[in-house]
Amino acid sequence: MTQNTAIVWNPSKTTRDALEAALPEGAEVSWFETTEDDPGRGAAESALAAGAELILAAGGDGTIRAVAEYLAETAATADLGIVPLGTGNLLARNLGVPLNNISAAVTRAFENEATTIDIGWADVHLSDEVRRRAFAVMAGFGIDAHMITETNDDLKDRAGWLAYVESLGRALSASAVIDIRLSVDGEDAVEDKAHTLLVGNCGMLQGGIALLPDADPSDGALDLLVLQADGVAGWLDTARNMMWDHGIKRLFARDTASEDDSGSASTIRRRMTALTVDLAEPRMFEVDGDTVGEATRVEFSIQAAALRVR
């Protein structure tokens, strides 16, 4: 058992007593609370300074992302354990960590061997500054970001991820098609259009929805999805591509790849290690469920094997 263990926990999501009850007998841990102003970076820094070899991040996606970001940024050798306590729990879902079960998640972190995963980075250009953010799952603008900003927080507390469905109609109306410029892996920039652009390190959302079905958090690459649907015909084509070509049809195919994987008339799919996106109009940008601000340019990159996760 790892002796130097730290718990970075969000006190708005659980209690210290509940976490202590899940610890293996004899485990000695140090405790570091997050705050509203600092969801995990400062706590992770303190945990590493205390010599932690295993850091359990207990909280929602914001807490997990902040701790993962600091570990990747500093190239720390400490392992990360995930105790998912949020609405989406996206990284936990993609890695098969037990949800809504503190004891099972803590046991998994103490008993399993570590595996390495990649981390994506987004340099987000706002009107007055550039903010650098890491993401373990996905980042982007459009429907995904608007569903997050338009979702009622009280409803999220009562209904969990189903609250996002309530905001979908408002998100659609807020996600107008705009002009963009894309430069993939240093290639010459090309003009295009989009209402939604997502870059993923992992591909699964709530409810088992595989938005980026080929995304692999350990393959050293990022997956791009651009949605361009405009009007009824465009949305029908998008629905076919998302639900049939990259959903139901895959269940019956021996090979997960299909001839349609590059996209459709209203979707673009690419795999890359770097991407620069210029937006003709500012759009709200999000990373792993946290909004960053209205972006006019975003530079994506991948940090391969950035984290050791239990």
Q: Distance of CA 91 to CAs 48, 65, 96, Å?
A: 22, 9, 9
How many C-beta neighbours within 10 Å does residue 237 have?
Answer: 17
| Angle 294-124-140 from CA coordinates, rounded to 5° | 70
Structure tokens, 71: 């570990």
List the beta bridge partners of residue 269: 225
Helices then strands, each counted (H, E), the chain: 11, 15
* The predicted structure's pLDDT at residue 209: 72
Q: Distance of CA 66 to CAs 37, 123, 238, Å?
A: 12, 15, 33
Last residue of a domain, one of 65, 91, 112: 112
Query: Is 126 found in the same domain as 81?
Result: no
309 in a structural domain? no
Query: Is 89 found in the same domain as 183?
Result: no
* The predicted structure's pLDDT at residue 154: 56
For residue range 211-262, what is the model confidence (pLDDT) as tens digits? 888 899 999 999 999 988 654 444 444 444 444 444 434 433 434 444 334 4
Query: Is 193 found in the same domain as 48?
Result: no
* The predicted structure's pLDDT at residue 56: 98
For residue range 12-34, what is the model confidence (pLDDT) as tens digits? 999 999 999 999 999 999 999 99
* The predicted structure's pLDDT at residue 198: 92
CB neighbours of 227 closer than 8 A, spacing ≥ 6? 142, 143, 194, 195, 196, 197, 238, 266, 267
Q: What is the residue whose two structure tokens read 């996106």?
A: 277
Mean pLDDT for back-to-back runs of 10 residues, the chain (310 residues): 86 97 94 97 97 97 97 97 92 94 97 96 97 96 61 52 46 71 97 93 79 92 86 45 43 40 67 98 92 96 98
Distance from C-alpha of 295 to C-alpha of 250, rounded to nearest angstrom: 34
* The predicted structure's pLDDT at residue 175: 58
177 in a structural domain? yes
* The predicted structure's pLDDT at residue 244: 40
Instruction: For residue 130, give the CATH number of its domain.
Output: 2.60.200.40
> What global pTM score does this model have?
0.84
Query: Is 139 found in the same domain as 107?
Result: no
Structure tokens, 237: 């084509």
Distance from C-alpha of 119 to C-alpha of 121, rounded to nearest angstrom: 7
Query: Is 209 found in the same domain as 138?
Result: yes
* The predicted structure's pLDDT at residue 142: 85
289 in a structural domain? yes
Whether the CA torsion 180, 131, 133, 300 is positive or negative: it is positive
Parent domain of 229? 119-304
* The predicted structure's pLDDT at residue 158: 54
Query: Is 266 found in the same domain as 141?
Result: yes
* The predicted structure's pLDDT at residue 228: 84
103: buried, middle or exposed (CB in 10 Å: 19+, 13-18, 0-12)? middle
Q: Distance of CA 185 to CAs 188, 198, 270, 301, Å?
A: 9, 16, 11, 9
* The predicted structure's pLDDT at residue 185: 98
Last residue of a domain, one of 78, 112, 146: 112
Q: Phi first, then psi: what are they for 202, rounded to 5°?
A: -125, 165
* The predicted structure's pLDDT at residue 163: 47
Question: Which one, of 17, 206, 208, lies nearest residue 102 by Cα?
Answer: 17
310 in a structural domain? no
Number of folded domains that form the chain? 2
